[in-house]
Amino acid sequence: MTILILEDEPIIAVDLEEIVSGRASGTVVVAATLRDALRYVRECGGDLDFALLDLQLGRDGSTSLPVAEILMRAKVPFCFVSATTEAIPSEMQSVPQVRKPFEPQEIEAVLPLAA
């Protein structure tokens, strides 16, 4: 199983990686930028099983929505982990959401979607 974490805040990325690694077996890939995440998603083909996506990335106004759109088309389950869940577009409101700051059990609760 391969899980992508797209998170631009290093401390939060480490927390997410530790939670996921402790709960799910397989590979955890962490991307800090939209560019890195897009590259990984395009190169991995169908080997991605789940993703945790921060919505707002960096100070340049970029978001994880391009990755989310690719994952939706490929039917890869994912969850937004964001302080700005109100900014999630209406067509993605059915996607699971965890609001920051989060508790580890909130992340653990969405991981069965990866199975």
CATH number of the domain that residue 43 is part of: 3.40.50.2300
pLDDT digits (tens, 9 = 90+) for 91-111: 999 999 999 999 999 999 999
Among 2, 7, 93, smallest CA distance to 41 is for: 2
Tally of domains within the chain: 1
- State the Cα–Cα distance between residues 58 and 54, nearest whole angstrom: 10
Q: What pLDDT, on the 0 to 100 scale, is given for residue 77? A: 96
Written as one string, the DSSP assignment of 56-107 is: EETTTTEESHHHHHHHHHTT--EEEEES-GGGS-GGGTTS-EEESS--HHHH
- Say if CB 7 and CB 29 are below 8 A apart: no
Range of the structural domain that residue 65 is part of: 2-114
- How far from chain centre, in Å, is Cα 103? 16
**58 φ, ψ (degrees, to nearest 5):** 70, -175
Structure confidence at residue 78 (pLDDT): 97
pLDDT in tens, 18-67: 999 999 889 999 999 999 999 999 998 678 999 999 999 988 889 999 99
